[in-house]
C-alpha cells in the first residue's frame, strides 16, 4: 500500500522508535518521511536529551504572532469601535488614551515585530506582556462595575475582553519564548 512515504536511504533517527508511529510521512514534492515537527508549522521534539519540552517552528511562531496582532489591535480600538456597535462605556478620553492607545501601540508594535521574527521573540513577547498587563490591570474595575450592574455587561466585555486575552496570550508566549531561549543557550 503506497501512502506517499519515501523509502530512500534515510538514516534512522535514534530519537524516534521506528514502530511508534511518530514519523510524519512525506507528501508529494516534500521529500522523504521526517520526524514530527521537521516541517515548519508543527511542534518540534526537543533537540537534545533533557531539553525543556516541545518547541515551536518558525511558521507556528508567525501564526501565534498574527493572533497576538489581532488581539493587540482589538484591545487598542475597542473603546472607539464599541460605540458604533452600541457598546458604550462612559470613560474620559484621556483615560482611553492611557489605558488603550498607548499600551495598545506598544503591544501592536511588539506583536508586529514578533510577526517578523523567525525564532522565539522573547523581548517582543515581554514588551507586549507588559502592555497587556497594564491594560488588564486598568480594566479590572470595569469588570467589577459590570458585575455590580453599573455598566452594561456586553459593553464591559467588548471593552475589557481583548485586554485580558492579550495579556494571557502574550504572557504564555513570553514563557514559551524564554523556555526556548534557555534551551537554545544550553545546547
- Tens of pLDDT, residues 135-166: 999 999 999 999 999 999 999 999 999 999 99
Mean pLDDT of the chain: 75
Instruction: Count the neighbouring beta carbons within 10 Å of the beta carbon of residue 53.
Output: 11
| Full domain range(s) for residue 143 | 56-186
Rg (CA), the chain: 22
Structure-block grid coordinates of residue 134: 497594564
pLDDT class for 111, splitting at 50, 70, 90?
confident
Instruction: Tell whether 2 is covered by a domain.
Output: no
pLDDT, residue 118, reads 61
Number of structural domains (the chain) is 1
Instruction: Tell whether 177 is covered by a domain.
Output: yes
The dihedral built from the CA positions of residue 69, 70, 76 and 80, taken in this order, carries a sign that is: positive
| pLDDT surpassing 90 at residue 18 | no
Rounded to the nearest angstrom, the gap between the alpha carbon of residue 128 and the centroid of all alpha carbons in its chain is 11
Q: Are 54 and 46 in contact (CB under 8 A)?
A: yes
Instruction: Tell whether 81 is covered by a domain.
Output: yes
Instruction: Tell whether 146 is covered by a domain.
Output: yes
pLDDT, residue 100, reads 92
Question: What is the torsion angle, in degrees rounded to the nearest 10, for the CA atoms of residue 91, residue 97, residue 168 and residue 145?
Answer: -10
Instruction: Count the neighbouring beta carbons within 10 Å of the beta carbon of residue 158.
Output: 20
Question: What is the torsion angle, in degrees rounded to the nearest 10, for the CA atoms of residue 17, residue 51, residue 53 and residue 45?
Answer: -40
Q: Output the pTM of the full model.
A: 0.66
Instruction: Tell whether 172 is covered by a domain.
Output: yes
> What span, in angstroms and rounded, lies between the C-alpha atoms of 53 and 45?
7
pLDDT, residue 143, reads 93
Give mean pLDDT, residues 173-179: 86
| pLDDT surpassing 50 at residue 94 | yes
Phi, psi of 43 (to 5 degrees): -75, 140
pLDDT class for 60, splitting at 50, 70, 90?
confident
Residue 161: name the closest of 86, 82, 92, 64 by CA. Answer: 82
pLDDT (tens digit per residue) in 32-54: 444 444 334 444 444 444 444 55
Structure-block grid coordinates of residue 126: 515581554
Instruction: Tell whether 29 is covered by a domain.
Output: no
Going from the C-alpha of 11 to that of each of 16, 31, 157, the distances in angstroms are 12, 14, 54
Structure-block grid coordinates of residue 89: 462605556
Instruction: Tell whether 36 is covered by a domain.
Output: no
Instruction: Tell whether 155 is covered by a domain.
Output: yes
Amino acid at each position: 500500500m503506497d501512502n506517499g512515504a519515501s523509502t530512500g536511504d534515510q538514516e534512522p533517527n535514534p530519537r524516534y522508535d521506528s514502530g511508534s508511529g511518530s514519523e510524519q510521512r512525506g507528501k508529494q514534492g516534500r521529500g522523504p518521511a521526517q520526524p514530527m515537527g521537521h516541517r515548519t508549522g508543527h511542534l518540534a521534539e526537543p533537540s537534545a536529551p533533557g531539553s525543556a519540552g516541545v518547541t515551536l517552528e518558525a511558521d507556528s511562531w508567525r501564526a501565534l504572532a498574527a493572533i497576538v496582532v489581532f488581539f493587540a489591535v482589538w484591545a487598542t480600538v475597542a473603546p472607539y469601535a464599541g460605540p458604533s456597535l452600541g457598546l458604550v462605556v462612559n470613560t474620559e478620553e484621556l483615560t482611553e488614551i492611557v489605558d488603550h492607545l498607548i499600551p495598545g501601540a506598544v503591544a501592536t508594535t511588539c506583536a508586529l515585530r514578533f510577526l517578523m521574527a523567525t525564532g522565539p521573540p522573547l523581548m517582543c513577547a515581554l514588551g507586549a506582556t507588559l502592555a497587556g498587563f497594564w491594560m488588564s490591570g486598568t480594566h479590572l474595575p470595569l469588570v467589577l462595575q459590570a458585575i455590580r450592574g453599573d455598566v452594561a455587561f456586553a459593553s464591559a466585555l467588548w471593552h475589557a475582553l481583548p485586554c485580558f486575552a492579550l495579556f494571557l496570550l502574550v504572557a504564555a508566549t513570553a514563557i514559551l519564548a524564554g523556555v526556548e531561549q534557555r534551551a537554545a543557550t544550553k545546547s
